[in-house]
């Protein structure tokens, strides 16, 4: 049985001090990155917003956020630094966002993703996201459609079992398999833009 070398990551709430590092990941990940002031506004004034960062040692290597809208946790932004893709970072971050959504009382997770972004769609599919609609010409850089995706109810036993399996697969020393990071978003792994 093959085991992964432990990857020491810390996931914590994003702070204003994290914005320059987040902005760099944003810049190299998306054709139309969010400006720094947008992240500052999200952190300081948007009572619906919650953002997380992933640190590997002193470096921020990924970030993601949700808006709590009534009982729905809407993933607003999600990106992994290019050098850290395909190492399970995206899986760990999405698991942390799902945990945060549950903690905040969300019944489902939703997001938008570029229709052509197969890698991101595969990652989200591992968490039970399924297509439910299209937002035509959603992305301003090229007019690409956005695929709207949602999960089943988070309190559904099958969904809870899915999240539990991912948690076990990501545990240190777990054998490689279901939660491998081969399907993490590539450079265009955006969720919302």
Residues catalogued as catalytic: 112, 124
Do the beta carbons of residue 27 and residue 33 sit within 8 Å?
Answer: yes
Strand order through the sheet with 130-135: 10-13, 49-56, 59-69, 72-80, 108-114, 146-150, 130-135
How many angstroms separate the CA atoms of 3 and 177, rounded? Answer: 10
Residues 6+ apart with CB under 8 A from 190: 29, 30, 77, 78, 79, 113, 114, 117, 120
């Amino acid at each position: 049985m093959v085991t992964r070398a432990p990857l020491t990551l810390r996931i914590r709430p994003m702070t204003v001090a994290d914005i320059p590092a987040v902005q760099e990941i944003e810049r190299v990940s998306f054709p139309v990155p969010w400006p720094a002031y947008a992240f500052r506004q999200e952190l300081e004034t948007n009572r619906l917003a919650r953002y997380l960062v992933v640190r590997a040692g002193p470096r921020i290597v990924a970030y993601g956020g949700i808006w709590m809208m009534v009982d729905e946790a809407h993933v607003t932004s999600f990106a992994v630094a290019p050098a850290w893709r395909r190492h399970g970072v995206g899986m760990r971050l999405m698991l942390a966002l799902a945990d945060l959504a549950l903690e905040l009382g969300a019944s489902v997770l939703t997001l938008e993703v570029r229709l052509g972004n197969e890698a991101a769609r595969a990652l989200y599919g591992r968490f039970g996201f399924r297509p439910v609609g299209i937002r035509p010409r959603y992305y301003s850089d090229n007019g690409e459609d956005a695929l709207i995706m949602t999960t089943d109810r988070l309190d559904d036993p099958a969904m809870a079992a899915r999240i539990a399996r991912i948690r076990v697969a990501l545990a240190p020393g777990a054998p490689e398999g279901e939660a491998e990071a081969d399907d993490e978003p590539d450079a265009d792994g955006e969720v919302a833009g």
